[in-house]
Amino acid sequence: MATEVVMPQMGESIFEGTITRWLKQPGDMVQKDEVLLEISTDKVDAEIPSPAAGVLSEIKFPEGSTVEVNTVIAIIGGEMTQAATVAATQKPLNGAQAAQEKPAAAEEHVARDGERMRSSPLVRRIAKENKLNLHAIPGTGLGGRINKQDVLDFLARGAVAAQAKPTGQAATPQPVSKSGLRDELVPMTKMREIIAQRMVASVQSSPHAHTVYKIDMTRIVHLRERERAAFEKRNGVKLTYMPFIAAATVEALKQFPILNGSLEGMSIRYHKHIHLGIAVALEWGLIVPVIRNAEQRTFVELASAIADLAQRARTKKLLPDETGGSTFTLTNSGAYGGEFGTPILNQPEAAILAIGGLRKEPAVLTDAEGNDSIAIRSLQYYCLGFDHRVIDGADSGKFMLELKRVLESWDRPLA
């Protein structure tokens, strides 16, 4: 019996997906739940498992095709098409013939032990154009993933000369400047293309305003240092600063729910739950997985959810309903050393909080008797971006003061 493989709907607002890579070809045997292809949408890059076991008899759309959700994209079982039959019968090749039919550049997806290599379509295109064998390039990305800079650095070191052409002749090194810079035009991925469209639409539709507060995180820094080993042992998750910030954000949103709202026509929607978006930077874009009903989560549950969603976002394991419907977003703009960032709203939300870099700085402290002293404190900038149609400056200030109060006077159990 034939089984249809359809383009899945990876979220309530997703209507199409782009096929970035087929891991199987017509004539290949696939197992149920084995990864069959990779797709890209504006919200998520995902690995799509096979819905059944059998022989992949037909691929209806090639890599690079953008297809509407629920459209049949492949067939497992059933009769082989003529093209698939020919392809399948040509697979058994002896050594010399195989080397001619499938040069090294076409083998970049699979490691020598059969494990699929981690690389983006852009990386694979650069490798193919320059006759590179990706096995020889060390990956510096998450889980050993090979990124664009890894390939460019490899080229800059003159490694192309060591790569053999299928004819056995030495490859001609590609001209690369001493700085490693290249003049090239690279098309956007589907995710990047739609992110670009939505960022422009967000700025054009909402009057953005921003306010920046400096928050003393010294109390939390000391608490984390003291408790993180026991916390990880007890709960199986690392104790980062993000659950502290998430918990404080939830508390402030409960006090000032207008910041958890959104504009609908000429009305303001006050949401009954806090669906907290956590922006995660990927090598191929940005994604915002969502913690549903964050106001009902304990500190440990927030910490576990943040770690779990971030890990699955980076390994393309997020579920469709985990990438949409957020009511407020946190984004860590200080992860790369920045003081603070001025974020763009994640529509249709009315507010977004950017977290700056955490640094030790001298600060003036005043005791109960009014005496001033200078001490080294761990300080962090927080920038709130908000839609000025919905939120006034006074509301934003009240929210930020409550966030500051909770973080600076943290007195909650880590449970």
The helix (H) or strand (E) run that includes residue 66 is strand 66-68
For residue 219, the model assigns a pLDDT of 97
Nearest Cα to 207, choosing from 263, 253, 133? Answer: 263
Please state which CATH number belongs to domain 206-408.
3.30.559.10
Extract the tokens encoding 44.
């998520």
If pLDDT is split at 50, 70 and 90, which confidence band does 114 have? very low
Output the average pLDDT for the chain: 83
pTM of the model: 0.66
120-179 confidence digits (pLDDT tens): 666 776 777 777 888 778 776 655 667 666 777 777 665 434 444 444 454 455 555 666
User: Residue 388: is its pLDDT beyond 90?
Assistant: yes
Residue 90 above 60 pLDDT? no
Each residue of 151-164: pLDDT tens digit? 777 776 654 344 44
Task: Give the dihedral sign, CA 404/407/409/415.
Answer: positive
Q: What is the DSSP secondary-structure string of 137-160?
A: S---SGGG-B-HHHHHHHHHTTGG
Which residues make up the CATH 3.30.559.10 domain(s) of the chain?
Answer: 206-408
CB 223 within 8 A of CB 241: no
Kindly report, residue by residue over 316-353, the tens digit of the pLDDT.
888 877 888 999 999 998 888 888 999 999 999 999 99
User: CATH 2.40.50.100 residue ranges in the chain?
Assistant: 3-138
pLDDT band at 99 (very low <50, low <70, confident <90, very high): very low
Query: What count of other Cβ atoms lies within 10 Å of the Cβ of residue 309?
Result: 22
Residue 84: pLDDT band (50, 70, 90) is low
> What per-residue confidence (pLDDT) applies to 323?
84
CATH number corresponding to 3-138: 2.40.50.100
- pLDDT one-digit tens code per residue, 230-285: 999 999 999 999 999 999 999 999 999 999 999 999 999 999 999 999 999 887 67
Active site annotation includes 392 = yes
Task: Work out the end-to-end distance of the chain between its first and last CA atoms, rounded to an integer number of angstroms.
Answer: 51
Q: Looking at 135, 222, 273, 388, which residue is catalytic?
A: 388
Between CA 415 and CA 408 the distance in angstroms is: 19
